[in-house]
Amino acid sequence: MPRRRLLTALLVVAALAVAGCGGASPKAAERSATLVLDFTPNAVHTGIYTALARNFDRAEHVALHVQAPSSSTDSVKLLLSGRAQFAVLDIHDLALARAKGRDVVGVMALVQRPLAAVLAQPGIRRPRDLQGRRAGVTGLPSDDAVLASIVRGDGGDPRRVRKVTIGFQAVSALLGRRVDAATAFWNVEGVALRQRRPAAREFRVDDFGAPAYPELVLCVARHTLDADRPLVRATVAALRRGYRAAIADPRAAVGALVSRVPGTDRAEVQRDFDAVAPSFTDGSPFGALNEARLRAWAAWEARFGIVASPPDVRRAFAFGL
């Protein structure tokens, strides 16, 4: 009897060991992926860095590597060549890329409203006051469209505004009074300008006729979406978790970015986060691609000359990921 019970016990243990090896689902292998940012890391990217800090990417079986752009970075080329799987693009750059035949697709919105604005000296009370005045632009086609839309939306004539190319120097040009206004992002340059000149004016493009389009979009190449949709879905899921966590705990989210980006000023990032955070879910859940809004954006994009004809929204974006 004792030997029989011992044999039975050994058989049970062996059976459990076999079941443990063959019956449990193996852990999914991690996939490595590179994500290129649109700009120097700032508050709009806090959800990405939160996803990394909390290992949300690893939980979705993706090892995500985030890369800040350099002066020579062409994110669209990196996507198309396969050297990066994901890139954050300004929605106007997505439209321009597609107009050139580059099959890049938006898969997730980082914000739900435009970040573009015209910043102006305190004496400029409304956009149409810029007629006959100097307005700085970077030289990008979208700047001309933003300036024209805002001035026209206030009943002014954009042709009467004296455009001056200043590159990405909106804040210093305004503080030095070299221009009366400048196109810029209100969530970064706008916050910085008001720190130095609290009475400065800010005219946001969607307050003057532009639709509520998502300024920044996570994008992939079409071949990546077609060949590796599970990777795209996993990365989108990880970033959604990161942004939801950032919205729930802003201080921790700012800390996640600051700890990974040397030389970043925490107070500055916190101010920028406080400004931009409502835009993460303004009228739509975080990450959602609202087809009606995007169709309105496509029409606006062509109307103000960024592209010759409205982008095909159903081809330019992947809905329902």
CA 105 to chain centroid, in Å, comes to 14
> What is the CATH code of the structural domain delimited by 116-207?
3.40.190.10
Band of residue 5 on the pLDDT scale cut at 50, 70, 90: very low
Q: What is the pLDDT of residues 62-108, one digit of tens each?
A: 999 999 998 767 999 999 999 999 999 999 999 999 999 999 999 99
Strand intervals (E) in 79-238: 86-90, 104-109, 116-120, 134-137, 162-165, 181-185, 201-204, 216-221
Find the length of the chain. 321
Q: What is the pLDDT of residues 153-199, one digit of tens each?
A: 999 999 999 999 999 999 999 999 999 999 999 999 999 999 999 99
**Does the structural domain 31-113+213-316 have CATH classification 3.40.50.10320?**
no
DSSP output for 122-166: TT--SGGGGTTSEEEE-S-HHHHHHHHHHHHHTT--GGGSEEEE-
Q: What is the pLDDT of residues 200-232, one digit of tens each?
A: 999 999 999 999 999 999 999 999 999 999 999
Task: Give the pLDDT score at 30.
Answer: 84
Please determine, for residue 127, whether its predicted confidence score (pLDDT) is greater than 60. yes
Q: Do domains 31-113+213-316 and 116-207 have the same CATH topology?
A: yes
Q: What does the alpha-carbon distance between residue 194 and residue 192 come to, in Å, rounded to a whole number?
A: 6
Q: Where are the domains of the chain?
A: 31-113+213-316, 116-207
